[in-house]
Structure 1
Amino acid sequence: MTREDILEELKKVLAYYTPDKEMLNSITPETDFVNDLKINSANLVDIIIEAEEKYDIEIDMDAAERIRDVGSCVDVIQEKINEKK
């Protein structure tokens, strides 16, 4: 699975949690969950859980702590998918 594929799927998940739907059109790897998308920490946990379920992966605390923006989230998901291979 490519980074672009993961990013597109992640955008679908983020749509539910992002209060400003206009921001969804401009999501990049540098987009910050808290500052740009206004997603709180509880919802970030929900996003991580959804990613775990969707990709059948486990994101441990160390990996979760690295997730600060969309790009780092994609990196963690891709890393965990690759670990399963």
Structure 2
Amino acid sequence: MTQNELLSKLKTIITPYVQNKEALENLTNETDFIKDLEINSANLVDVVLDVEDAFDIEIDNESMEEMLTVAASIKVIEEKLASK
């Protein structure tokens, strides 16, 4: 799966939780889920659960804590997919 495919799938997953739709339109690797997209911490847990389902992976607590930006999330997803 390419970076663009991962990004597209991740964008689809986070869309229902995003409060700042303008930031979603300008999504980059540096986009911060809490600061830029205004996703609250409770919804971040939902995002992680949705990511686990979508990619058929398991994300441990340590990895979950890293998933605060688009780039960090993609990195975690790639690592988990590689270790399957």
Give the TM-score band, short-chain normalised. over 0.9
Are the counterparts in 2 of residues 33 and 39 from structure 1 also a CA contact under 8 Å? yes
**Deviation at residue 3 of structure 1 after TM alignment:** 1.8
Query: Amino acid of the residue matched to residue 58 of structure 1?
Result: E
Give the share of equivalent positions with the same residue, in percent. Answer: 44
Query: Amino acid of the residue matched to residue 16 of structure 2?
Result: Y
Separation (CA, whole Å) in 1 of partners of 2:70 and 2:63 = 14
User: Hey, what does 1:16 align to over in structure 2?
Assistant: 16
Query: Amino acid of the residue matched to residue 76 of structure 1?
Result: V
User: Hey, what does 1:55 align to over in structure 2?
Assistant: 55
Are the counterparts in 1 of residues 20 and 36 from structure 2 also a CA contact under 8 Å? no
Separation (CA, whole Å) in 2 of partners of 1:68 and 1:12 = 16
Count of aligned residue pairs for this structure pair: 84
Q: Which has the higher contact order (CA 8 A, sep 6+)?
A: 1
User: Hey, what does 2:81 align to over in structure 1?
Assistant: 81
Secondary structure in 2 aligned to 1:63?
helix
Unaligned runs of 5+ in 2: none
- Corresponding position: 1:44 with 2:80: no
User: Hey, what does 2:25 align to over in structure 1?
Assistant: 25
Separation (CA, whole Å) in 2 of partners of 1:21 and 1:65 = 24
Are the counterparts in 2 of residues 6 and 74 from structure 1 also a CA contact under 8 Å? yes
